[in-house]
Amino acid sequence: MRFFRLLSLRWLPLLLALTGCVDPIDQTLPGVLDVVVVDGTITNLDESQVILLTRSESDPVSGRPASFPLTKATVEVVVDSNQVVAAHETLDGRYQLPSDFKGQIGHAYQLRFTLTDGTRYVSDQQVMPDVPPIDRVRAQFNPTSLAPIEVDGFRAAHDIYIDTQDPAGQTNFYRWTWKLWEKQDWCRTCTNGIYSINNVLIRTSVNGIRYFALGDSLLEDCFYYPSTPPAIKPFTYDYNCRTQCWAIIPSYKLSVFSDTYTNGGPILGKRVAQIPFYQISPCLVEIRQAGLTPSAYQFYKQLQDQTENTGGIVDTPPTASVGNVKNSVNDREIVFGVFTASAVATTRYWIDRKDTQGIPPELFRALNGRNPIPEPTFPAVPAIVVQGANQPYTAICSPNDGRTPFKPAGWRE
């Protein structure tokens, strides 16, 4: 699972380049990959409308790939060629439109952004298409659903199938994604540090020995050594959640479809998701059915063809679509990714996992590739001892894109 969570748009140009799928880049030299990556979709839902900007490049010496957020850019969306809506940076490289903004079917949207060096980029105009509702959802446990490399060899999952009615008399393109909520028990990991509710003070004894004492101001975070002493080996501790907490796991595979052969007919039993059997406890999944513009479909279809079966790049076509965003001055610059507008139909489905077989990996191991390492308790001694502290503490469930302390709508417990 750790490998597949990297298959977002910001990492795909690196994989494509390393396998020769992006023609204009000379792969004989290390360090030549330097690509702006755009990932943004305007939807008609009451949700955060976000554009992600990153730069993917390879090290000039080793050739190893890396991805960095593009910060402090000026980002705006132009609606119907006349209304300009500015986005603000909420996290590095994450640009969010105003909270009351959402797309409308039939309206046109265009992305414009300027980097700190003055380079300007613009997307094609995207007219939001309509999308039919999801009529029916069913789940079926499949002990060999996933490829062996997806969740460290664990293959079991629930295959999710949907029915929908394709509109007649028009060409429709679809993309299916999902969002999964799983109960999680571990809320924080501290590497070369310990979790503390209060701040930690660094003191020196009369003998000149440094020690740590608990302060009286709120920290709720990892406390780290100011500098790791040579005698201390690197260590990692994991901390249980203090309250209820749900992991939020996005889909990591592409699933797109054209109604070329089903125009106006029902789409029945379409598999749109594989929900890994992470743990015994139930889970909640939201299925999202998006209507795609023709250019967005072409982009995602090529990526799907290149990453299907194993989730990796398996084919090397003579050319690869790099997206619909261009440098406004230099049209030879490669800009990877897509900005588009999609109407989205959603439905949530409860999976009780009573039909499962076998032993799951457990959520923490599946997402982190290892078992949790709790901070030692008495009589064992942790790497950092804080006088006055009731170690080990539990950690708060800080809300972010990957977890929430708030019970999701549709959760049955």
Q: Is residue 215 part of a domain?
A: yes
pLDDT in tens, 95-151: 999 999 999 999 999 999 999 999 999 999 999 999 999 999 999 999 999 998 777
Instruction: Tell me the torsion sign for CA atoms 72, 77, 83, 85.
Output: negative
Question: Tokens 């190893």 belong to which residue?
Answer: 64
Confidence band, pLDDT 50/70/90 cuts, at residue 310: very low
Please determine, for residue 242, whether its predicted confidence score (pLDDT) is greater than 50: yes
Give the count of beta carbons closer than 10 Å to the beta carbon of residue 232.
11
> Residue 61: what pLDDT?
74
Give the count of beta carbons closer than 10 Å to the beta carbon of residue 171.
13
> Residue 225: what pLDDT?
83
Q: Is residue 150 part of a domain?
A: no
> Residue 170: what pLDDT?
92
> Residue 313: what pLDDT?
37
Confidence band, pLDDT 50/70/90 cuts, at residue 25: very low
> Residue 149: what pLDDT?
78
Question: Tokens 């070329």 belong to which residue?
Answer: 260
For every residue of 77-144, DSSP letters joined together read EEETTTEEEEEEEEETTEEE--TT----TT-EEEEEEE-TTS-EEEEPPEEPPP-PPEEEEEEEEETT
Q: Is the pTM of this model over 0.85?
A: yes
> Residue 4: what pLDDT?
41
Pairing of strands 50-58, 344-351: unpaired
> Residue 2: what pLDDT?
43
For 140-151, letters b (16+ CB in 10 Å) and e give ebeeebbbeebb
Strand partners, 157: 142, 276
**DSSP 8-state class, residue 383:** S
Mean pLDDT of 290-297: 97
Please determine, for residue 26, whether its predicted confidence score (pLDDT) is greater than 60: no
The burial class, CB within 10 Å (0-12 / 13-18 / 19+), for 177 is buried
> Residue 32: what pLDDT?
61
Strand partners, 69: 54
CA distance 295 to 410: 34
Strand partners, 89: 95
Q: Is residue 230 part of a domain?
A: yes
Mean pLDDT of 386-399: 97
Ranked by mean pLDDT, the top range of 18-32, 137-151, 350-364 is: 350-364
Contact between residue 159 and residue 271 where contact means Cβ atoms under 8 Å apart: yes
Q: Is residue 344 part of a domain?
A: no
> Residue 150: what pLDDT?
78
Confidence band, pLDDT 50/70/90 cuts, at residue 20: very low
Confidence band, pLDDT 50/70/90 cuts, at residue 307: confident
What tokens does 26 get? 């000379």
Q: Is residue 346 part of a domain?
A: no
pLDDT in tens, 66-106: 899 999 999 999 999 999 999 999 999 999 999 999 999 99
Confidence band, pLDDT 50/70/90 cuts, at residue 244: very high
> Residue 28: what pLDDT?
35
Classified as helix, coil or strand, 373 is coil
Please determine, for residue 3, whether its predicted confidence score (pLDDT) is greater than 80: no
Q: Is residue 241 part of a domain?
A: yes
Mean pLDDT of 37-60: 94
In 205-329, which ranges are E strands? Answer: 210-224, 236-240, 246-250, 256-258, 266-276, 283-291, 325-327
> Residue 339: what pLDDT?
98
CA distance 70 to 34: 13
What tokens does 33 get? 């990959």
Q: Indicate the helix (H) or strand (E) that contains 68.
A: strand 65-69
Q: Is residue 225 part of a domain?
A: yes
CA distance 199 to 220: 8
CA distance 244 to 195: 18
> Residue 407: what pLDDT?
98
Mean pLDDT of 12-21: 46
> Residue 319: what pLDDT?
42
Contact between residue 211 and residue 388 where contact means Cβ atoms under 8 Å apart: no
Domain interval for residue 199: 186-246+369-404
pLDDT in tens, 196-240: 999 999 999 999 998 999 999 999 999 998 775 666 789 999 999
Q: Is residue 374 part of a domain?
A: yes
**What total number of domains does the chain contain?**
1
> Residue 10: what pLDDT?
53
Confidence band, pLDDT 50/70/90 cuts, at residue 165: very high
The burial class, CB within 10 Å (0-12 / 13-18 / 19+), for 367 is buried
Mean pLDDT of 386-412: 97
- What is the average pLDDT value for the chain, to the nearest integer? 89
> Residue 322: what pLDDT?
79
For every residue of 172-220, DSSP letters joined together read -EEEEEEEEEEE-SEEEEEESEEEEEEEEEEEE-TTS-EEEEEEEEEEE
How long a stretch of residues is the chain? Answer: 413
